[in-house]
Each structure stands twice: as structure tokens, then as C-alpha cells.
Amino acid sequence: MYQHHSIQQFHADIAQQKTSCLSVTQYYLKNIEDNKRLNAFVTVFANEALERALYLDKKFASGLPIGKLFGVIVGIKDVICYQSHLVTAASKMLQGFNSLFSATAIEKLLAEDAIIIGSLNCDEFAMGSSNEHSYYGKVRNALDENRVPGGSSGGSAVAVQANLCMVSLGSDTGGSVRQPADFCGIVGLKPSYGRISRHGLIAYASSFDQIGIFAYQVADVALVLETISGADNFDSTVSNEPVEPFSATVHQPFLGNIAYFPEMLNHPSLDPEIRAAFFVLIDDLKQKGFTIKPIQFDYLDFIVPAYYVLTTAEASSNLARYDGVKYGHSTEQSITDLTSFYTKNRTEGFGKEVKRRIMLGNFVLSSGYYEAYFTKAQQVRRLIIDKTNEVFEQADVLLMPTVPSPAFTFGEKSNDPIEMFLGDLYTVYANLAGIPAISVPLSTHSNGMPFGVQMLTNRFKETTLLQMAQIIYQG
């Protein structure tokens, strides 16, 4: 039985001929089959993965140069396009749709000899915090199958958690990588906005979306980030910042200044056990020589409202293209006029949560409410960005909880969207500011579920972020 520890160890085993790409791929395919009840995968690319494994084994045996991710088994969220493969955003709207091209991130994975084993379940169009809003049904947390894995990238988190792949890609618009990583007890990274090309990522909210990475080890995340980052002519928002050798620097020592927001730790929604563990961590870091100071943050109550006003506005625009004409669900009912045709297609094709966000987005963009909601939310975002710049003039790393509480049970919050939205309190900040953030496991709650801690740095300071994460979490 193969148990993945790290990519570095896997490559050492390959070099010593203790294993092969084929045998490891076969192991993962069997594990996926044995854990179908978790519902992590939408589609498994079994035959293709086996063929690629054989090709890579032959490549290695012939002495040809191999890529950074040689033989690494990768799962991809069902919002990331892979040419000639099913991509549906976990929605009936795109049922049966095969992508016409590959995302830039996918092309970079393949260029470095990775094996893509399948597409992973998620909340429909990446809208949700529990993975209860998928056309394919809910994903189950492998540690407690009665609890949610987090969302929207729940399948991506569970696939790593349950050892169904070595690493996985998700997307993070307001915490959709970090929150499920927290709930599942693994590492989850949201890079800076623009660090990774969004070409081939199905859009939810374009000024927030970013492809993220799940793994058990910080070093594995660093290597994948190094591989898929960089400039791209297909994405005008991607940065031309040089891609640093994250995998080479992740273990280097870091002794910088750390800050935290007391307002976030005093918030009534924060679980007492998570709060206590956070202060234990602060004391431990001080003993290691770090300078840690509190910094006042006055915008806590405005973060979630501003986020949901802006993201739903962008979502209503992005999802307008799904009308069932060129692509998307097309009703089978007899329709005589165009308006009814559009209405039926979208009513049948979209799920409840997606409809809720489209309607909210249309409302805040509507005449008479645009200035009161959308413009005001943009102004709040500007204030948050300015405050963030001030914070990182005083500190190198910002520390905060990832989520207010551990993984909850199915149905516990699904009937109260406001309570569900407030669960994003600590994660949406990074997306509003466009800065990188990572969640690593911190401790275990008295209910038996893991919870993590979140670190944030200034834009394009992923090297510092990964070094700090490695210090806190020695996985």
C-alpha cells in the first residue's frame, strides 16, 4: 500500500525503484473506487491516467529529463478546464459539456509530467461554504461523514484528505480553498490575485477568483505554486512578477514581525477552543523569538457585506452567458417565445444557491440601488486595501483564525444563508485585498474535528508566507 508523505519522498522512491508511476496510479484508482461514498470525484480519468503513467515510466527508464511534478497524482476542481474532458461547475446548467481547451494551470502541470486523475466535486459554480450545493450531491468529510468538508472546493480537500490524490487544485473566491483545508485538516493556499492565470477557470467573481492548491505538506504546495504561476498572454489580469523558487526557499529560516487583529479574536462567533489555541500559538511564537503585536482593524463588520455585494454583482454578470442557446442547459418543454425559453433554461439549469446570488447581484446593480450598495461596497474595499498596506508597513505576516468554528454537520446551516455567510468572516478579507493567504492545521477540537490557523502576507510575498507556514506546521 502506498501512503503519500511528500513529493520529495515520492521522487526519492521512484529514483530508488521502490515504486513506479503505474503502481502508484493503480493504488490511487483503487482508493478512489473504495471511497466512492465520499463523493469527492465528478469524473475519474482512469484509462488516461494509466496510459500516462506507463508513458512516464518509460520516459524515466530511458534516462530522459523528467519534470518537477513527475508522476505526481493531481485532482482538479470541476471549474478548471481540461481539453476534451467534462467540466460542469457541478451544475445541471453545464451537464455533459466537454471543454474545448485547457486552463493554463493544467498545461503547466502536464508540461512538468503530472498525472491528472480526475475532476472533483464542488459547490455549484463555486458558490457555497459546505459542498451541499452540488448537482452531484454533497461531498462527505472523511474524518466524520456526517459533517461537511467545507466549500466550495470540498471535493478537492477531501481528495487529499482521504489520500485519493497527492495534491489537488481548487478555486478561492472568498475562502473556498482555505476553509475546506481547515475542515479537513490539510494545507490550503490562496495565492495573490494575479499570481496564477485564471485562463480556463470558470468565473464566479472575476476580481476575486484565484486558483488555489491543496496538499498535506507546505513544501508540496510550494512546488505546485512554483510550477503553475507566472505570466500568461491569455489573462490580462495575471502578474508579470517573477516566479520565485518557492520549493527551494520554503525551508529557509524566517524571523520577521507578526501582527494580529484583536477585533477578530474578540468576535462572538469565534469558538472558544479555537481562540484559546490561537493564543497558545502566539505564546509559542514569542518564545521562538518572533515579535508579535496587535493592530487595530476597524472594518470587521463591513468585510462580509462588502464581499457579498461585490461578488454577487460580478456573478450575475458572469453567469448571464448561460442561456441555453450556444451552450448550457436547454429546456425540453415546448416554448413559443424567447423570454420564456431563457427563463426555463436558467430556472431548470441553476440550483437554489446560484439563483439566490444572481438575484442579489442583479438587485445591487439595479437602478436606484447601485450607488447605495455596489458603489459603497467598492469604497469599503478601497479602505480595506489601504488598511492592508498600512498593516504590512508594520509587520511581515498577519495571523488570524481560518474559520470561526470546526466543520459542522450537514443541514446545520443550510437553512440560514446569513449564518453560512458569516462563516466566511476570516477568509474573505484576503480576497477583498488581493493578498495571499494559507491555512495550515493547528489543533483538534473537543468534538474530534481539526481546525487550522491562517497566515497572510502582502501581495506577491508568497515566499514569506510559505516560510512562516512551514515554521508553524511541520507536517
- Interval 341-356: pLDDT, tens: 999 999 999 999 999 9
Phi, psi dihedrals of residue 154, rounded to the nearest 5°: -65, -40
Residue 328 neighbours by CB distance under 10 Å? 20
Give the sign of the dihedral formed by CA 452, CA 217, CA 222, CA 88.
negative
Render pLDDT for 212-234 as a digit per residue (tens, 0 to 9): 999 999 999 999 999 999 999 99
User: What domains does the chain contain, in order, with CATH numbers?
Assistant: 7-249 (3.90.1300.10)
Contact 459, 431 (CB under 8 A): no
- Give the pLDDT mean for 106-133: 97
Active site residue 446: no
pLDDT tens track for 144-183: 999 999 999 999 999 999 999 999 999 999 999 999 999 9
C-alpha 76/C-alpha 86 separation (Å) is: 11
Q: What's the pLDDT score for residue 1?
A: 62
At 319 the pLDDT is 97
Lowest mean pLDDT among 222-236, 334-348, 373-387: 334-348
**Bigger pLDDT: 419 vs 130:** 130
pTM of the model: 0.97
Catalytic residue among 77, 138, 387, 413: 77
Query: What pLDDT sits at residue 29?
Result: 98
Read off the pLDDT of residues 412-448 as tens digits, 9 standing for 90 and up.
887 777 777 778 999 999 999 999 999 999 999 999 9
- Closest to 148 in 3D by CA, of 407, 403, 404, 441: 407
State the pLDDT at residue 3.
79
Given a cut of 90, whether residue 2 has pLDDT beyond it is: no
Does pLDDT of 194 surpass 80?
A: yes
Q: Give the separation between CA 411 and CA 119, rounded to whole angstroms.
A: 25
Taking residues 449-466, what's their average pLDDT? Answer: 98
224-245 average pLDDT score: 96
Query: Is 6 known to be catalytic?
Result: no
Spell out the residues 6+ positions from residue 403 whose beta carbon is closer than 8 angstroms to its own: 150, 175, 179, 182, 183, 423, 426, 427, 451, 452
User: Of the residues 91, 134, 176, 197, which is catalytic?
Assistant: 176
The pLDDT value given to residue 261: 97
Q: So what's the pLDDT on residue 423? A: 82
In the structure grid, which three cell numbers stand for residue 292, read together? 508579535
- Is the pLDDT at 27 greater than 60? The verdict is yes
Q: What is the chain's length?
A: 475
Question: In 3D, which of 213, 212, 207 has the Cα closest to residue 237?
Answer: 207
pLDDT (0 to 100) of residue 176: 98
H helices present in 395-475, as ranges: 417-422, 428-433, 462-472
Residue 176: active-site member: yes
Measured CA angle at 360 (ends 355, 364), to 5 deg: 150
Q: Indicate which residue of 152, 153, 229, 247 is catalytic.
A: 152
